[in-house]
Amino acid sequence: MKVCRRETFNAAHRLFRPEWSDEKNREVFGKCSHPNYHGHNYALEVWVEGEIDPLTGFVIDLKDLKHLIHEFVSDRFDHRNLNLDCPEFEGIIPTTENIAKVIWDILREQLDPKFGLEVQLSETEKNKVFYNGK
């Protein structure tokens, strides 16, 4: 049994490697490398796998999961510039893949090890990623 909580956050970012030339960055990352940043409404699905607790009927209390996501993910990244404001992305290009991985790592540390964990993160209506730590 898996349960899912969906939360959103809005952030600016830019894809580029500082050691590459502007030209090379544009060649690889296209308009995503634009120097003054652009941004997205990120939609995050956090899936937690476990047994149903017979007392509550919950795998995990989704209110608790919501607060966990708010405290450790949304409140850090919402209305932020991922490149400039978030030490989590120091030396890491904030692609959707890397953001999902960072979020998974953060939540994995907070979540009881008895639970399985998967995250899905969409950057636009057309692009999304899935990560389960493997």
Question: What residues act catalytically?
Answer: 32, 79, 123
Member of 36, 87, 90, 113 binding a second copy (CB under 8 A)? 36
Smallest separation, CB 51 to a second copy (Å): 10
Q: What amino acid occupies position 13?
A: H
Nearer to a second copy, 110 or 124 (CB): 124
The answer to whether 66 and 60 are in contact (CB under 8 A) is: no
Member of 22, 52, 67, 71 binding a second copy (CB under 8 A)? 52
Query: Does 26 interact with a second copy (rule: CB under 8 A)?
Result: no
Q: How far apart are CA 76 and CA 43, in angstroms?
A: 15
Q: How far is CA 121 from each of CA 17, 20, 26, 60, 129, rounded to the nearest angstrom?
A: 22, 27, 24, 20, 5
Run of H or E including 9:
strand 2-13
- Residue ranges in contact with a second copy by CB under 8 A: 1-8, 10-13, 15, 17, 28-32, 34, 36-41, 47, 52, 55-59, 61-63, 66, 78-81, 84-85, 92-98, 100-101, 124-131
